[in-house]
Amino acid sequence: MTTLEIISRLCDATNSLSEIVKEQQTIIEHSKIEEEVKAELRKQVRDAERELDVIEYHSRRYCDTDDIERVFGKE
């Protein structure tokens, strides 16, 4: 498996987990949990999503152009 394929799979898994967290957040928002707790959970989700975005962005530099052309084809 190439570096690009590993990064792409990690990004896919991260996006799936993010969607699960968003669904859980919606459930929490509709539940009878104190507003302080809801606000803290929202902040934690935002912080985690921001960190994942930064990690994904910086991990793209580990891909070489040969991998990209082989996986996605020449355009």
Interval 38-49: pLDDT, tens:
889 889 888 988
Q: Six-digit token pair at 40?
A: 């803290």
- pLDDT band (50, 70, 90) for residue 12: confident
* Residue 43 in tokens: 């902040």
pTM, full prediction: 0.58
Q: Which positions ≥6 away from 4 have C-beta within 8 Å? A: 63, 67, 68, 71
3-state SS string over the chain? CCHHHHHHHHHHHHHHHHHHHHHHHHHHHCCCCCHHHHHHHHHHHHHHHHHHHHHHHHHHHHCCHHHHHHHHCCC
